A and B are shown apart, each in its own frame.
Chain A
Amino acid sequence: MSSSAHEFLTALRSAREQLEGLHRYDKALAVCAAGLARMQAVLARPPRVVILGEVNSGKTSVADLLLGVGLLPSSVVANTRLPVLIRYAEETALHAVAGDTRWLVTGESLDGRSAGPEVTALEIALPSERLKEFEILDTPARADWNGASTDGDIRIWCTVATRAWTESERVYWSGLPRRNWRNALLVATHKDALEEASDATKIEWRLRAAAGEMFRDILLVSATDAGKSRRTNGRPSDASAVTLLGQVRVWAAEIRERRARKVEKIVRRLARLTFHRLARGTLRLTEARILREWEGDCSSLIDGMGSASGDLASVMRELLRRFARAMELARSGSIERQIRWPGAATDAGTPQRGAPSRRFVKLIAADLTTLLRIELARGGLRDPTLFADYEAAQRILLPLARLDLEFDVVESLLASGRPLEAAVAAPSIEQVLLSLSRAR
């Protein structure tokens, strides 16, 4: 895992813990915490390498190569009858899986085929560092799947080099949905059974011609027969195992990186939505009126938004002006004091026109609404700890939503225009900007 991804994972964990540590129960916060936990799990799980292939095509040998230890039984005839998931753990353990249940297998209990539910899969946990980079799902031959899941991030299709890529393999593979081809590796095993070095080239040539389009890459490997202290056949193992491992590592890292970026986006969105749900308690009449007025302002501004390129800046300016007024009405002097200022949360820069810019303004408006609502609630709340919770939640959510990092956008917008004449006496646009920079 790259260091930035690691940092993000840490941030995620602490945010979730803080959220869970708040006093008050708030449904939105609970949902958010659960979501964060899920994202944390997604980030923590290494990409899954699924090893597929026809009967006895060297699947388990490939798993062995990836793992680097002769741990799995590899034999001639369809040895692995069950899907075997190999993943990292600090202690070695073997679990049997039957449907949704999963239990620890000790000693001989599996071999004895003890009574009980039909085991559908096995899980092997090993303290191997490599398994932190990727986990391995070694599947049985297709006939034995029994509907077991063979989903994964990286797919390795094994075929025997001396009879590589038959029609039945092609039919199966080309019948898969295209997305399965993206991180797919065609591995021709038992390269060591070939007699001449030039044979490997010929086979690779043929594979690239016949199946190149359906795989991201094609490799020939000498899968040594591991386990059971067997004799090895042919020449000593060559560099092919290293190449295979390297390839899988690079792809796994790539997938992780991509996944981290995706998770980050999701978390940002989740945090923001949660933020928008904060402080939904009942308001007193006066405060409710301020809120309604503000909401009315927002929708009329957004509805009136034209498609000219300058509109966005002017609408934003007006929005901020009205917001400042509403805040001042809610509690005079609040702008100066403590507001953390939300901003745009788009990666692609500020949209300049049309529907996207309208959505952008809407988001900002929603951010501002929440700020206002918290401020309005402050007066109505009997219990100060609840307000402290809101504030704490706000402190946690804003960085997660990256709202604090988006100030620049708004700031530059405001700076580009001429100074605003303040609608209300106290908070000038300069003050707003000041509070923005403070929050940063």
Chain B
Amino acid sequence: MGEGYMNGARALGLGPAVRVPRPFEADGVGAALASAQKQIVNCGRSLAGLVEPAGQALIGEAINRLDQQVFRVAVVGQIKSGKSSFINAFVRQPRLLPTDVTPWTTTVTHLHFGEPSPGAASFQFFSAAEWHDLANGDQRVRELVKHLDPNFEPDLLRHHVEAMKQRAVMRLGANFAEMLGSSHSFESFNTELLARYVCSGDFAGKSTLGQYADITKQADLFFDQGPFAFPVTLTDTPGTNDPFLIRDEITRRSLESADLYIVVLTARQPLSDADVNLMRLMHGLNSDRIVVFVNRVDDFADVGYDLAEVIMYVEKKLQVNFPGARIPIVAGSAAWANGALKGDNETLSRLLERSSSRYLADLGLVQPQDLEFDALDDAAARERLRSALFAASGLPAMYRVVADAMGTSQAALNQMQTAQWFGDMASASAKAANFELESSRAEPPQAGERGADDRVALERETGVLNEVAANVERSAKHIDAQFSAIIGEEMTSLRRSLQVVVDSHAAKERDVLIATLEAGRAPRTWTLEGVALRRALAAEFKDCFDRAAARVLELQAKVAPELAQLMGLIAPEIAMPAEPEKRLLLIAPPSMAALSRFVALDIEDSWWSSLWKGRTSASAYGEQIESLIKTEFQPVADGLAETAERVLASYATTSSKWSFGLCVNIIQAVTRRRVELIGKLGSDDRAGAADIDRAPERKQQTQSLTDRLKRCGALNHQLEIIVHDLGTRLQRPAEMAQ
């Protein structure tokens, strides 16, 4: 497990160098990423002014892509672990999301920071089809039921669905169905408005609370930057492990793959088996995108004593369940952070009332007398208390963890790639300018007298250029074909390998089941080892993907020399960018979100037991299970293969587009110059040539070329530094993991 955070966690968000961060003016989270992005975009804009149209188009596209980048953080956890409270503290709006003492959040809420239209909110209702699906139970579960036992009905689910329907009717009227599929948008919002859509409301309480909750699928709230320097989307989810089954189902369905998952635990029951299962399922076994926040340490009577034990316990359990994974653990209390942010005497005195507040003094953050109720009357003491609460809340450490995760995110990888391409483009441009400069210097002073010869030479050169351009185009097509051939081959083999994993697992499961049944032990609590199968799939997937990525990169490495050879035909002096540095060639590992797809076999244990009653032969049963596993996991395997294909194809397309774009850019530059010269020669011939005019013109041209050369060189240098920085940051976790 990593260093850094662990120390931070032990000291509750205070790094080894214990300096109390001042709570209300931390640097924006993701400042490094944001500033890198700004630099790259600026470089790109300058570069666009120096290159040919082909290059400009590529650069514009790349900048657009960068501008759309968002770092996505999903906050997940069991019910009542304090996810909404944590988010409120994290975004420093302690009263934003409604919270309550019973499971409250019903809806997936995306909080968008630094994206357009701040202040607005929109609430998306389930479509009629989705509602129907929910209200009639999961389709696959239905099929399974029909398949195995036509008489079986998941009673509880039906019961809950009925309750939900009734409540929807009660709150929205009998024709609530007309609202399905639509959405509500607002120019501004407040907590009361949110409460209508995203919280469950009292069971028989006020009508506006949770008025639309039953049919709301997703809420989108837009904010300005907030505490973030880089655009961030934070997602609040309904808790898992909710006996109200439908809510669990909603969460599972709507969780897209995020760049970072914050798993919120409650300190009193840290990392229960339900949490571990959630982590396994949610992150698609990509554990380096998980952070654990142990919330509610303020529930402890003696924080110092209990916390050490809890952290040790969580560490150990994580090591057992996710061997080799680096999962940062931060402990703290959203209640403390929210208390510090609210700062009113009522909230503060409520926190002081609990003996856990004495921990602040134990840490040395405040003097014991600051924890007396009287101290609240003293403004200075109250401020001390507030900053101590925030410091001990673990939020500062969480900001750091999130910022670090941003540094190694997909966004950072994209930035590095873009910077690399910009750098290559700058360097190629510089070389083209240099070449022109050289060739224009080489022109003899009395060019006019040999105008005719020149013209022939120029025309010949133009012919070569056209030929090379055609070659480049052909070569591009060829390379693209090779890329897609490689990807096609690899994906076929990937699909096959995954199939083998599923099949062998299904066969094993069948044999085990038959053996158990034949031994006369009715498997009262038989469950599919879904986790084992998923893990096996993940491992196989990773192997296959790495192999495919290596082949793609290998081909990409061959492109540069080939292009260099082609370009040599135009001008041997223009060396193409050398073979790219291996270290910097990276294809972002694809998301394995497909693995977390809910399969009917994941249903709770007790569900199965009712299926074993009075069944016929053990082997028939085993075969049923085998085929069930196969059909259920087929879409999972397909989903993985599709993701891999998409990632590789888009990488290959973009990288070949850029490689050839560079060449096209050079060819365009040289061609333009030749065409200009030819045009000039023509006009000189006609005009009988005033040599006198040409000298300043040439001088000006030389000047502009030199200028371009310099600026491109400078840009290239700057971009190299950015790439190096980003590369180092991206490389670090990989080295630490070794």
Contact = CB atoms under 8 A, between A and B. Distances in A.
A139 interface: no
Given A168-B241, A171-B606, A233-B301, A160 B355 contact: no
B577 to A, nearest CB: 57
B245 A167 contact: yes
A175 B242 contact: no
A175 B610 CA distance: 10
B102 A167 contact: no
Interface in A112-161: 143, 160
A166 B79 contact: yes
Contacts of B80: 162-164
A208 B353 CA distance: 30
20 contacts: A54-B269, A56-B270, A76-B268, A77-B310, A77-B313, A160-B266, A163-B78, A163-B80, A163-B266, A165-B243, A166-B243, A167-B241, A190-B268, A196-B101, A211-B243, A230-B301, A230-B302, A231-B302, A233-B301, A233-B354
A211 B203 CA distance: 15
Contact of A75 (B267, B306, B605): B306
Interface in A158-189: 160, 162-171, 174-175
A168 B272 contact: yes
Interface stretch (A199-207, A379-387, A412-420): A199-207
B427 to A, nearest CB: 58
A161 B222 CA distance: 34
Interface string A235-264: 100000000000000000000000000000
Of the candidates A76, A143, A162, the one having the most CB atoms from chain B within 10 angstroms of its own CB is A76
A206 B205 CA distance: 13
Interface of B: 78-81, 100-102, 202-203, 240-245, 248, 266-270, 272-274, 296, 299-302, 305-306, 309-310, 313, 350, 353-356, 358, 525, 604-606, 609
Contact of A77 (B202, B245, B309, B353): B309
B604 A171 contact: yes
Nearest to A194: B101
Nearest to A211: B243
Given A75-B309, A162-B80, A234 B355 contact: yes
A55 B358 contact: no
B190 to A, nearest CB: 22
A195 interface: yes
Contact of A233 (B81, B273, B299, B609): B299
A438 to B, nearest CB: 60
Interface string A46-58: 0000000011110
Leading 9 A-B pairs by shortest Cβ distance: A163-B80, A233-B301, A199-B101, A76-B306, A231-B355, A166-B241, A77-B313, A175-B606, A170-B243
Of the candidates A54, A162, A165, A235, the one having the most CB atoms from chain B within 10 angstroms of its own CB is A162
Contacts of B354: 233-234
Contacts of B268: 56, 76, 160, 162, 190
B605 A175 contact: yes
A205 B203 contact: yes
Contacts of B242: 166-167
Contacts of A162: 80, 101, 266, 268, 296, 299
A175 B274 contact: no
Interface of A: 54-57, 75-78, 143, 160, 162-171, 174-175, 190, 193-196, 199, 202-203, 205-206, 209-211, 225, 230-235
A254 to B, nearest CB: 30
A193 B266 CA distance: 13
Contacts of B240: 167
Given A174-B606, A233-B301, 6 more contacts: A75-B309, A78-B313, A163-B80, A202-B100, A233-B299, A233-B356
A57 B269 CA distance: 7
Contacts of A55: 269, 272
Contacts of A195: 101, 350
A56 B275 CA distance: 14
Contacts of A193: 299
A175 B523 CA distance: 13
B316 to A, nearest CB: 10
A166 B78 contact: yes
Contacts of B203: 205-206, 209
Nearest to A233: B301
A425 B525 CA distance: 74
B138 to A, nearest CB: 16
Contacts of B241: 166-168
A194 B244 CA distance: 22
A326 B716 CA distance: 127
Contacts of B358: 231
A171 B102 contact: no
A247 B605 CA distance: 33
B351 to A, nearest CB: 10
B526 to A, nearest CB: 12
B309 A56 contact: no
A203 B104 CA distance: 12
Contacts of B296: 162
Contacts of B270: 56, 77
A190 B355 CA distance: 14
A56 B245 CA distance: 24
Contacts of A203: 101-102
A210 to B, nearest CB: 5
A261 B299 CA distance: 47
A203 B80 CA distance: 12
B100 A54 contact: no
A56 B269 contact: yes
Nearest to B245: A167
Contacts of A167: 240-243, 245, 248, 274, 604
A232 B354 CA distance: 8
Contacts of A190: 268, 299
Contacts of B202: 202
A185 B180 CA distance: 42
Contacts of B79: 163, 166
A163 B269 contact: yes
Contacts of A211: 243
Given A163-B80, A166-B242, A231-B302, A171 B266 contact: no
A202 B273 CA distance: 27
Contacts of B310: 76-77
Contacts of B356: 233
Of the candidates A168, A174, A199, the one having the most CB atoms from chain B within 10 angstroms of its own CB is A168
A158 to B, nearest CB: 11
Contacts of A76: 267-268, 300, 306, 309-310
B139 to A, nearest CB: 21
A202 B102 contact: yes
A206 B81 CA distance: 17
Nearest to B357: A233
B305 A230 contact: yes
B433 to A, nearest CB: 67
B282 to A, nearest CB: 16
B273 A232 contact: no
Contacts of A168: 241, 272-274
A50 B240 CA distance: 28
Contacts of A225: 301-302
Nearest to A198: B101
B695 to A, nearest CB: 85
A171 B277 CA distance: 15
Contacts of A57: 269
A133 B242 CA distance: 37
A195 B350 CA distance: 8
Contact of A163 (B81, B305, B525): B81
